[in-house]
Structure 1
Amino acid sequence: MAEGVHLEAARAPEGMRLYAIGDVHGRLDLLERMLGTIRAEIKRDRPADWRIIHLGDYVDRGPSSRGVIDFLIAAGAADPRIVTLAGNHDIGFLDFLARPSTDSLFMQYGGIETAASYGVSFGPTRDLGRFHADLVQAVPAGHADFLRSRGFGVSFGDFFFCHAGIRPGVPLDMQHPDDLVWIREGFLHHAGLHPKVVVHGHTITRVPELLANRVNVDSGAWRSGVLTAFVAEGGQKRLIAATAG
């Protein structure tokens, strides 16, 4: 008999409803709609307990990275049941603030839009050093502190939540942070079961993937206009979406 947990058998903790929200990438509009839907469900259904788990990548590509971080800081301060994990783009933002480079993840994959949300522009004639200095000045210390203090993974019931995935065969409590925020090869095509069902984002998929050993809710919100969340309560699982328009 194979070891590990199959999605069909996986259960949330008794009396707790779980929501896991995929990559936001600066789409504050979709994040606000998603949280509005979730809060309405919680108010209607009154579960005994609940958690809302954000799977990382709050910045880059979309238009409102600053607004997303403001929103998440306020939401987490208002209720500790809201959990925010780190994504590779969030770490890439911090890396650029510390060590600017034109070859960085930030500069190559959507950081220009993040900077614009802080009122800092970059063009072909803009000096990188000046751009970096202006951005460092524009980003509130609380935003950098928020991103720097995010965890990399969390477990509830039969589910393990992280941004990108896990290294198969490595115990969950020994996973390397780089794998939790970056892994694709070695994880996405692994057919075996894991100690828990892994709920993740990071890799855009046209439709959410609900597989035996993992659930992928990265629906490419920044370009598709669809933000997806996975919901688990008891043995029941479902998906919800927030859409543009």
Structure 2
Amino acid sequence: MTETGIHYLDARGPEGMRLYAIGDVHGRHDLLAAMHRRIESELEYAPSSDWRIIHLGDYVDRGPDSKSVIEFLIEARERDPRNIMLAGNHDIGMLEFLAKPDPDGLFMRYGGVQTAASYGVKLSTGSSWFGRSDEALAHGHAALVEAVPQAHVDFLHSLSFSVTFGDFFFCHAGIRPGIPLENQSPQDLIWIRDAFHDHPGLFPKVIVHGHTPVPEAEVMANRVNVDTLAWQAGTLSALAVNGAEKLILTVEGTAF
């Protein structure tokens, strides 16, 4: 059977448009700001008639400063709408927690405590040995709802699930093989792993994603993974595309 999709080596960005796709930030405002400085320097040194900076989601949780990450992204998009932000599962998880506190949900189990701390709120995870304090969770939830600015909630609600430029399709987690790109479900776009990672064939476009941490950016024939565990390893990665030229950019910071 002949593969009819796009191979990474053949993939091209739109004519005259530079593309940058930044992996999972997870509260590392320091690394996000450093990556933007690097991209800005590159655009100053080698100007392009047009560009897009695409953020692949998971701005919150785990790292130390989710609040500042969201503020940075809001300001970047207001300054220039060519800064594009996509939704990650953790960003949706924060919205879900703000709407209804679930002690066993993504937010509470996987880094939301750190997100709340960045807003000056202490959330108690409770203990299964001694019984969880629903009252403490309710109190913490109320404090967090009060502390998170409406602009941050509006920003999280505004996030798209995918975008495409040239031969590249950008999303947080990946796609469901066999489903047209325009028909992908939001659930798959922010959560999928094995069915996507294990697919041996080419896709209609090269899929650029994060969601699953790897020690260094993973460049495959059919996809590129730029989640390099920024919050813990201290390395934030991005794919840069200029016509047929593709390369990985990294910025380094403190590892935790």
Fold match (TM-score > 0.5): yes
Aligned residue runs from structure 1 range 44-63, under 5 A: 44-63=45-64
Partner residue, 2:14: 13
Q: Which one of the candidate residues 207, 210, 217 is aligned to 1:201?
A: 210
How big is the shift at 1:99?
1.0
What's the counterpart of residue 147 of structure 1? 156
Matched, 1:130 2:131: no
Structure 2 counterpart of 1:47, one-letter code: S
Percent sequence identity over matched residues? 58
Q: Which residue of 1 aligns with 2:239?
A: 230
Aligned residues: 245
Counterpart residue identity of residue 194, structure 2: E
What's the offset of the Cα at 1:48?
Answer: 1.3
Quote the Cα distance in structure 2 between the aligned partners of 1:215 and 1:172. Answer: 16
Looking at structure 2, the residues matched to 2 and 241 of structure 1 have their Cα atoms a distance apart, in angstroms, of 32
Q: What is the alpha-carbon distance in structure 1 between the residues aligned to residue 26 and residue 3 of structure 2? A: 37
> For 1:124-156, what per-residue CA distance to the aligned partner results, in whole angstroms no more than 9, with x for missing partners?
477000010000000000101100110000000
Partner of 1:189: 198
Structure 2: how far apart are the matches of 1:207 and 1:54?
Answer: 18
The answer to whether 1:179 aligns with 2:180 is no
The CA RMSD measured in Å over matched residues stands at 0.9
Query: Who is 1:85 aligned against?
Result: 86
AA of the residue aligned to 1:111: G
TM-score normalised per structure 2: 0.94
2: CA distance, partners of 1:210 / 1:122: 38
Aligned residue type for 1:103: D
Secondary structure of the equivalent of 1:187? helix
Question: Which of 211, 217, 220 matches 1:211?
Answer: 220
The one-letter amino acid paired with 2:97 is F
Separation (CA, whole Å) in 2 of partners of 1:34 and 1:118: 23
| 1:20-35 superposed matches below 5 A | 20-35=21-36
Alignment of 1:104 with 2:98, yes or no, is: no
Any idea what SS the aligned residue of 2:195 has? coil
Q: Which amino acid aligns with 2:112?
A: G
Match of 2:169, SS state, is strand
SS at match of 2:73: helix
Partners of 1:63 and 1:205 lie apart in 2 by 20
Deviation at 1:204, TM superposition (A): 0.2
Q: Which secondary structure does the structure 2 equivalent of 1:128 belong to?
A: helix
1:4 is the counterpart of 2:5: yes
| Structure 1: gaps (5+ residues) | none
Deviates more, 1:126-135 or 1:168-177: 126-135
| TM-score, structure 1 normalization | 0.98
Aligned mates of 2:216, 2:140 — CA distance in 1: 37
Unmatched 5+ stretches in structure 2: 127-132
CA distance in 2, matches of 1:122, 1:108: 11
- Contact kept, 8 Å, 2:52 with 2:82, in 1: the verdict is yes
Deviation at 1:122, TM superposition (A): 2.2
Q: Partners in 2 of 1:169 and 1:41 — Cα distance? A: 37
1:217 partner amino acid: V
Specify the code of the residue in structure 2 equivalent to 1:173: E
| Deviation of 1:185 (Å) | 1.8
Task: Kindly provide the amino acid, as one letter, of the partner of residue 39 in structure 1.
Answer: E
Deviation for aligned residue 1:207:
1.4
After superposing on structure 2, the runs of 4+ consecutive aligned residues of structure 1 that deviate more than 3 Å are 123-126
Aligned partners of 2:123 and 2:141 also within 8 Å: no
Match of 1:36 in 2: 37
Q: CA–CA distance in 1 between the matches of 2:29 and 2:139?
A: 28
